[in-house]
Amino acid sequence: MTEETPGFDEKPDVPSGATSDDAEPKAAPQEGAAPAGDAAAQVAGLTAQLDQVRTALDERTADLQRLQAEFQNYRRRVERDRITVKEIAVANLLTELLPVLDDIGRAREHGELVGGFKSVAESLEVVAAKMGLQQFGKEGEPFDPTIHEALMHSYAPDVTETTCVAILQPGYRIGERTIRPARVAVAEPQPGAQTVKADSSDSAEAADDKESGGPDEG
């Protein structure tokens, strides 16, 4: 009998319970790889979140712009009201001083504004002018019912329209606001003055024609 030598046909020992497939090495899965469907879903989700954030940002921006506009309007309104209140307060104060200024004016007209009284009066007038008080009303200016108050009325041959011929009390204004109209005496043209003037002009023309031998004959 010859000695048998193990050949290559003999299979190695396999543990019980294991198959031949388990014995073969498996390929390692690729790291970082994801199915195409999952990636598209993630992109869609991120896009939807971005849209929501943009919408919320637009809404907050609009709210902020609206609040800024309301604040600007409020600040302008407060500033306008502050200026109005200041003007009213100044006008009320100066209105109370008008009788004093009238007394100063009458004293000046009569030559009684002398000495220390003159210095005090002039200082008061300077302060009133700095606060915006302006005096108006002059003899010879046309009568304006919006700034003049007629206390006396007469006719005069040398006026062509209703004219202030005397200032009984000067008027005062602050800026464009009249706090007291000028109280004046007015004069109107005499009734029929225009007719008389026209008749005299016609008579003068007729006399000129008579002296020149009448109108030229064609």
pLDDT reported for residue 41: 83
What are 137-150's pLDDT values in tens digits? Answer: 999 999 999 999 99
Q: Is the pLDDT of residue 8 over 60?
A: no
What pLDDT score was predicted for residue 39? Answer: 83
* More confident site: 14 or 205: 205
Q: What pLDDT is recorded for position 212?
A: 55
Answer whether CATH 2.30.22.10 is correct for domain 134-204. yes
User: How many CB atoms within 10 Å of residue 68?
Assistant: 10
Domain ranges within the chain, ordered by starting residue: 134-204
Could you tell me where the beta strands, DSSP code E, fall in 78-204?
Answer: 133-136, 148-156, 163-169, 171-174, 177-180, 182-189
pLDDT at 33 over 60: no
- For the stretch 165-180, pLDDT in tens is 999 999 999 988 899 9
pLDDT above 70 (res 46): yes
> Sign (positive/negative) of CA torsion 82, 88, 89, 91?
positive
Q: What percent of the chain has pLDDT over 90?
A: 53
Q: What is the pLDDT confidence band of residue 215, given thresholds at 50, 70 and 90? A: very low
The percent of residues above 70 in pLDDT, for the chain, comes to 71
What pLDDT score was predicted for residue 181?
A: 96
- DSSP H helices, 110-214, are 115-130, 193-211
Name residues whose C-beta falls within 8 Å of residue 187's C-beta, 6 or more positions apart in sequence. Answer: 153, 154, 155, 156, 159, 162, 163, 165
Residues 62-111: pLDDT tens digits? 999 999 999 999 999 999 999 989 889 999 999 999 999 999 999 999 99
